[in-house]
Amino acid sequence: MSGLHRPKRPEQVQQAILHAASGIAVRHGIQTVTLQAVADAAGVTKGGLMHHFRDKSALIDAMREHAITTFSAMLDDHLASEVGMGRFTRAYVRTCLDVTAEDVELQLTAAMWADPQLRADWYAWMADQEARHAATDAGTRFKVIRLAADGAWLAALDGCDTADWQAELLAMA
């Protein structure tokens, strides 16, 4: 008698867990993320979840890293079509304001601003980006535009219509 063999897809399972955890955090707050709630939402056992993330702290750390990595990949996609002065800032504005309801990891990035470690990780990531793009995006003007994009991003997540904000910020950049 041969048993049913299911192919193991650890990367897919890990992504499903991170996506489920991010969704819970965005909808109900980071404090509501429990291993059991995430396991249930991801369709895995708690033991299966703990195979990938040893505890809640490891899961939250992975969520932070995944959120920044996802944002960074989208930013790189936008950067590919930008040239000249302000190219990083324009790509940043587009990335912030292109967030949709399906982009739960990007919503999470904005929603986790209350988390001190995420803020520290984000500021370190941003300092690296600003250094990398200093030739085209140095100066207070571009920084202010990026900070305005952060505010617009948060407003969009709260349901504000920011459609005309993107055009205005892009024109400034």
The interaxial angle of helices 87-97 and 140-157, nearest 10 deg, is 10
Q: Is the pLDDT assigned to residue 106 strictly greater than 80? A: no
Total length of the chain: 173
Q: Which residues contact 29 (CB under 8 A, 6 or more apart)?
A: none
Distance between CA 110 and CA 148 in Å, rounded? 13
Instruction: Say what the pTM is.
Output: 0.81
**Residue recorded with tokens 């790509």:** 91
Q: Is the pLDDT assigned to residue 75 strictly greater than 50? A: yes
User: What's the Cα-to-Cα distance from 86 to each of 46, 97, 123, 126, 172, rounded to whole Å?
Assistant: 46, 17, 19, 15, 9
Q: Is residue 119 very low, low, confident or very high in pLDDT (cuts 50, 70, 90)?
A: confident
- The mean pLDDT value of the chain amounts to 86
Note the pLDDT of residue 120: 87
Residues 112/118, Cβ–Cβ less than 8 Å: yes
Note the pLDDT of residue 66: 85
Average pLDDT over residues 167-171: 92
169-172, long-range: CB < 8 A, 24+ apart: 169/93, 169/97, 169/145, 170/90, 170/93, 170/94, 172/141, 172/145
Q: Is residue 43 very low, low, confident or very high in pLDDT (cuts 50, 70, 90)?
A: very high
Q: Is the pLDDT assigned to residue 79 strictly greater than 60? A: yes
Higher pLDDT, 129 or 64: 129
Q: Which residues contact 167 (CB under 8 A, 6 or more apart)?
A: none
DSSP code at position 113: G
